[in-house]
Structure 1
Amino acid sequence: MAYWDSEFQRVQSPFLRYGISVAAVVIATAIALAVQEYQFRDVELPVLVLVVGLVTWYAGTGPAVVAVLLSTAVFAYFFAEPLYSFYVSARDLPYFLIFVLSAVIVASFSAVRRRIEDNLRHARDQLQIELLQRRQHEVEIRKLNMELTERAAELAAANKELESFAYSVSHDLRAPLRHLVGYSELLQKHATSSLDEKSQRYLQTILEAAKKMGNLIDDLLAFSRIGRAEAKTTAVDMQQLVAEVTSEIGAQANGQEISWKIGALPVCLGDRALLRLVLVNLLANAVKFSGTRPQAEVEIGSVDGHGDKPEIFVKDNGVGFDMQYADKLFGVFQRLHRADEFEGTGIGLATVQSIVNRHGGAVRAEGTLDQGATFYFSLPNAKQPVERTVSAP
């Protein structure tokens, strides 16, 4: 039945559908008359009602109406008294009305069921389409995940190679640089009397440049070790850690006036030594870039971040920076100020970003030229019960 129903659903010609209606009623009438010849009575009602139902089911509503009208006329003409007349006697009127009512009810139920079947079929087709689309999306997602996994592995391998390269290069440069500094100092010590003022200035420039290069190599080695070193995750009291670092920096300030303002700080998850290095770099920068002020004002506090990661900030009243160059702040050897204005190698903020990223956090900066800067970094809150392990990228 489902097969034939689906076949008739594909019939678009109205002539064929109405032709089926007429032909079905004619065949049913012939069958009823033939059976009646063999003295079987009252067969016409179920036969014609069945035909009405079938026509409604397979041909549609319009042909069903035609089938009901033709069946009613055939029933009145051939099977209701007086025979061969469309007039129905009072004795056969109840029988005739029963037939009409049965035909209408069967046609109605068939139409409703047909509509329900159509809706179900349409819903099934839509579900199949959605299921196919979902499978295609799942295949695409799996493919993208595989590509991301491969790229992440390639990126991790590239980072390791880069760290190894930086370590090797830096380590290999130290020996010839030591020779350069050592022999320059020996030359300065033993040949000072034989050199004029200009030559002595040249020699001093060589020594200063070599020592600066040595500092750069030392910082580069320290930066490369951050990615290679194992980290131990513990609950770190940032309030206590900040107090230790500010006390240390204040003792090394060489007479600079510093006003510390320390707000409430959370207990975070992380490696204490690495987080101490983060604070040392940020607070030392805040003091250094506030050196042109009569009094350096440094504020440390925290704000609500995203989820279980509060943000800790370090704010100063220093020279600040132009926000259009903010993306250069955290690059290796990137500087926004001249070396003769502020000393440094440009590794500190890159180190901060590397450590914070290893802890699953993020770093950002806000600043205005000649009006100070604020650096934010987020860390996981130690109050969360989930244990985390800081691992190398």
Structure 2
Amino acid sequence: MTELAEGPTHVGVRRNLAYWNQEFQRIHSPILRYGFAVVSVAIALGVAFALQYYQFRDVELPVLTVAIAFTTWYAGAGPSVLAVLLSSACFAYFFAEPIYSFYISRRDLPYFFVFVAWSVIVASFSAVRRRIEDSLRQARDNLQVEVEQRRHREDEIRKLNRELGKRAAELEASNKELESFAYSVSHDLRAPLRHMVGYSELLQRQASSLLDEKSQRFIRTILDSAKRMGNLIDDLLAFSRIGRAETRETEVDLEQLVKEVVAEIGQDMKSRDIAWKIGALPVCYGDRSMLKLVVVNLVSNAAKFTRMRRPAEIEIGCVDCNKNKEEVEVFVRDNGAGFDMQYVNKLFGVFQRLHLPEQFEGTGIGLATVQRIIHRHGGKVRGEGAVDQGATFYFSLPKAQDAAERRANAP
């Protein structure tokens, strides 16, 4: 119980000393600092007289030394020198024989020098300790500032993470709404579009003899536009299904998949002179049906844009497959029409086309579909080309060992 009672008392004393320690160290006025030295020596002198009155002998030396130590600690080096001089003068005048005289006898001279030396030693040790404590206090303050800054940064990071999570959830909800909207609109457009095509064909068959060439051309234009719109709707539906379809990841032999796609497309290109070159391709990890759609789109584009070449050259291969241990990068290269690299950012946008419909057919959905599938697999897609010098499209896929991690970080 005694220890428990003394504990709070000692803690309070230490807190009070620490408080007054900080208060005195805030004193920067020279008058106050040197005045503190004078007051300290005066108090010590009074205490020495009081102790001497009550028959305590030889106490003046430690009492004046304590005054010097306090002055050095709280007022600094300059006031400590003044405290040493005042203490020496008081000691010589009041306590050294002859008393009330600054004269020091030969017998008391060593005793006086010991007092002065001891006072200087105490002052020097107090000054060194004060410097060390100031350094430690400054280091502590710097550490507190750093801790506060780090805490502030952590709070900002947590706040940003919460905002990022909230925006990611909002973006995911918006994407689902857009996909549902595109799917619904596409379905709703099919019925009036079928009516448009059907009645236009009926009008073309039944009234062809009554229409002149110009009117028949108008009807053909309506039919062509309606059919093109139908193709756009079909592609938009397929594009929206990709975002909602569940992926079934397995090991996929890319070389076998590419040969299968080339064989299917080659059946429709028998009349053309196409030089196929298929390099060694590794096994990757992903949804086979989706990856087949990627290869079909890229190879079909290569075949389409090499239509004017004799012979057309289409190469499918892998970029440093043996060196890269984390992912597989496959390319599809052709010697076709190519494109201007300043428009490369438009390649993978929905309904974005770099060639006129009169030159090459298409809806501008194919490359957007490729990018969406590859992103769902945690990979990347890019294109390189030059006008009339062909184009090369690259897509990367993670290997089986780190596919799960890559998909988790995919947008």
TM-score, normalized by length of structure 2? 0.87
Once residues 380 and 99 of structure 1 are traced to their aligned partners in structure 2, the CA distance between those partners, rounded to angstroms, is 83
1:311 partner amino acid: E
Aligned-residue Cα RMSD (Å) equals: 2.6
CA contact (8 A) 1:267 1:383 kept: no
CA apart distance, 1:206? 2.7
What does residue 364 of structure 1 align with? 382
Once residues 280 and 97 of structure 2 are traced to their aligned partners in structure 1, the CA distance between those partners, rounded to angstroms, is 104
State which of 19, 44, 50 in structure 2 corresponds to 1:3: 19
CA contact (8 A) 2:378 2:403 kept: no
Q: Which range is displaced more, 128-137 or 59-68?
A: 128-137
What does residue 292 of structure 1 align with? 308
Q: Which range is displaced more, 35-44 or 228-237?
A: 35-44
CA apart distance, 1:159? 1.3
Once residues 94 and 194 of structure 2 are traced to their aligned partners in structure 1, the CA distance between those partners, rounded to angstroms, is 124
What does residue 369 of structure 2 align with? 351
CA apart distance, 1:111? 1.5
Aligned pair in 2 of structure 1 residues 233, 98: CA closer, same or farther (>3 Å)? farther
Matched, 1:377 2:395: yes
SS, match of residue 269 in structure 1: strand
CA apart distance, 1:224? 1.0
What does residue 325 of structure 1 align with? 343
CA apart distance, 1:307? 8.3
Q: Which range is displaced more, 249-258 or 286-295?
A: 249-258
Matched, 1:316 2:343: no
**Corresponding residue pairs, total:** 393
CA apart distance, 1:389? 6.0
1:336 partner amino acid: L
CA contact (8 A) 2:97 2:108 kept: yes
Matched, 1:125 2:141: yes
2:339 partner amino acid: F
State which of 360, 364, 372 in structure 2 corresponds to 1:342: 360
State which of 225, 228, 231 in structure 1 corresponds to 2:247: 231
CA contact (8 A) 2:380 2:395 kept: yes
Once residues 311 and 168 of structure 1 are traced to their aligned partners in structure 2, the CA distance between those partners, rounded to angstroms, is 36
CA apart distance, 1:314? 1.9
State which of 202, 211, 224 in structure 1 corresponds to 2:227: 211
Aligned pair in 2 of structure 1 residues 263, 92: CA closer, same or farther (>3 Å)? farther
State which of 87, 112, 115 in structure 2 corresponds to 1:99: 115
Which deviations, in whole Å up to 9, do the C-alpha atoms of 1:179-229 show, x marking residues without a partner? 332333334444444544444433333322222222111111111111111
SS, match of residue 182 in structure 1: helix
CA apart distance, 1:89? 4.2
1:180 partner amino acid: M
Aligned pair in 2 of structure 1 residues 192, 392: CA closer, same or farther (>3 Å)? farther
* More contact order relative to length (CA 8 Å, sep ≥ 6): 1
Aligned pair in 2 of structure 1 residues 264, 201: CA closer, same or farther (>3 Å)? same
SS, match of residue 401 in structure 2: coil
What does residue 161 of structure 2 align with? 145
2:393 partner amino acid: F
Structure 2 portions without partners, runs of 5+: 1-16
State which of 190, 193, 207 in structure 2 corresponds to 1:174: 190
CA contact (8 A) 1:365 1:374 kept: yes
CA apart distance, 1:20? 0.8
CA contact (8 A) 2:276 2:314 kept: yes
Aligned pair in 2 of structure 1 residues 200, 118: CA closer, same or farther (>3 Å)? same
Once residues 90 and 410 of structure 2 are traced to their aligned partners in structure 1, the CA distance between those partners, rounded to angstroms, is 91
Once residues 244 and 341 of structure 1 are traced to their aligned partners in structure 2, the CA distance between those partners, rounded to angstroms, is 28
Matched, 1:56 2:72: yes
CA apart distance, 1:42? 1.5
SS, match of residue 319 in structure 2: strand
CA apart distance, 1:320? 1.2
What does residue 44 of structure 1 align with? 60
Which deviations, in whole Å up to 9, do the C-alpha atoms of 1:205-263 show, x marking residues without a partner? 33222222221111111111111111112222222222222222223224222223333
SS, match of residue 384 in structure 1: helix
CA contact (8 A) 1:231 1:391 kept: no
Once residues 72 and 392 of structure 1 are traced to their aligned partners in structure 2, the CA distance between those partners, rounded to angstroms, is 81
Once residues 390 and 58 of structure 1 are traced to their aligned partners in structure 2, the CA distance between those partners, rounded to angstroms, is 62
CA apart distance, 1:31? 2.5
Once residues 294 and 270 of structure 1 are traced to their aligned partners in structure 2, the CA distance between those partners, rounded to angstroms, is 36
Q: Which range is displaced more, 193-202 or 235-244?
A: 193-202
Structure 1 portions without partners, runs of 5+: none
SS, match of residue 383 in structure 1: helix
CA apart distance, 1:139? 2.5
CA apart distance, 1:90? 4.6
What does residue 175 of structure 2 align with? 159
